[in-house]
């Protein structure tokens, strides 16, 4: 824990955004967002494409800076941290993505080892160039996600669901305190998606992780999240424990779109953005 942070102290949150606005030159990615995230909680962000989910996640690990407001992670002000402080903070934050971002030609085990690169000096050109202790930790994380027997296969020989579990092992090997997940199951079939979400929720309990995860599937959020935060046009429109949220209310995050498309109430996927709705900048977040 960084000096000065105070986990366990009343009022302390692992992650806190205070009145954060992100203005992308006319488009507000976030608009006066105040929200806090706690340990051992899986919070799911729901909202239409372009509602600000990725922008919120990127502010937590300092990939984006707020135009105004503050982002506090583990007692440290992210927007004021620079250089070594930001690097140290990022080592406490694991990030997983929709498209896994594994190196396809590397073995599964070496991919997991790359999760430790932020804490090592110099490049690593092969699996054997990682210290033995790291190789062992990486293997243990693969056991944890149920893929130890695949350790020496090329990453691209695994299914999408398996690759996402490898990406989770890669995030865990750096022993993060916070896990951010940007649409981690968007590319997966329903069975693999459920396995990945179950893994994330189990690990959150085992490691006292603070998990913030964006999703497009309302039912998946209702099944796996402890809490749902709904975003619309960069603003929070719902923030409640999942146990207190009904399906209709979760769908109301999508506003008029849900009402206009009754089939949305029976579909697992969030309704598509209406014509003219904001969409995310392709690849340019």
Ligand X SMILES: Nc1ncnc2c1ncn2[C@@H]1O[C@H](COP(=O)(O)OP(=O)(O)OP(=O)(O)O)[C@@H](O)[C@H]1O
Interface residues with ligand X (CB under 6 A)? 24, 27, 29, 47, 49-55, 278, 280-281, 284-285
CA gap 147, 222 in Å, rounded: 27
**Least distance (Å) between residue 219 CB and ligand X:** 17
**Least distance (Å) between residue 26 CB and ligand X:** 9
**Least distance (Å) between residue 90 CB and ligand X:** 19
**Which residue, 73 or 215, has its beta carbon nearer to ligand X?**
215
**Least distance (Å) between residue 224 CB and ligand X:** 18
**Which residue, 51 or 141, has its beta carbon nearer to ligand X?**
51
Q: Over the range 183-198, which residues count as b (16 or more CB within 10 Å of their CB) and which as e?
A: bbbebbeeebbbbbbe
**Which residue, 178 or 253, has its beta carbon nearer to ligand X?**
253
Q: Interhelix angle for 132-144 vs 160-172, to 10°?
A: 130
**Least distance (Å) between residue 16 CB and ligand X:** 19
CA distances from 57 to 39, 179, 186, 230 (A): 16, 10, 16, 14
CA gap 129, 73 in Å, rounded: 33
Question: What φ, ψ does residue 218 adopt, rounded to 5°?
Answer: -65, -45
CA gap 234, 49 in Å, rounded: 11
DSSP 216: S
**Which residue, 39 or 231, has its beta carbon nearer to ligand X?**
231
**Which residue, 53 or 150, has its beta carbon nearer to ligand X?**
53
């Amino acid at each position: 824990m960084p000096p000065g942070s105070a986990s366990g102290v009343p009022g302390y949150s692992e992650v806190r955004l205070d009145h954060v606005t992100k203005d992308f030159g006319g488009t507000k990615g976030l608009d006066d967002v105040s929200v806090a995230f706690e340990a051992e909680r899986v919070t799911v962000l729901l909202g239409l494409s372009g509602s600000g989910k990725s922008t919120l996640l990127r502010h937590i690990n300092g990939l984006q800076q707020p135009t105004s407001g503050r982002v506090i992670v583990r007692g440290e002000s992210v927007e004021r941290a620079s250089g070594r402080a930001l690097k140290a903070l990022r080592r406490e934050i694991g990030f997983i993505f929709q498209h896994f971002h594994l190196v396809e030609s590397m073995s599964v085990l070496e991919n997991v080892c790359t999760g430790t690169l932020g804490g090592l000096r110099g490049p690593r050109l092969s699996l054997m160039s990682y210290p033995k202790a790291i190789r062992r930790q990486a293997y243990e994380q693969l056991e944890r996600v149920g893929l130890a027997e695949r350790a020496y296969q090329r990453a691209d020989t695994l299914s999408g669901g398996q690759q996402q579990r490898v990406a989770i092992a890669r995030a865990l090997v750096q022993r993060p305190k916070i896990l951010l997940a940007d649409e981690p199951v968007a590319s997966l079939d329903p069975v693999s998606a459920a396995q990945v979400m179950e893994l994330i929720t189990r690990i959150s309990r085992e490691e006292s992780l603070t998990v913030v995860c964006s999703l497009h599937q309302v039912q998946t959020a209702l099944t796996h999240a402890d809490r749902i935060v709904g975003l619309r046009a960069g603003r929070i429109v719902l923030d409640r424990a999942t146990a207190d949220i009904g399906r209709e209310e979760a769908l109301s995050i999508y506003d008029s779109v849900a009402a206009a498309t009754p089939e949305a109430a029976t579909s697992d996927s969030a309704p598509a953005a209406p014509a003219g709705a904001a969409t995310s900048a392709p690849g340019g977040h």
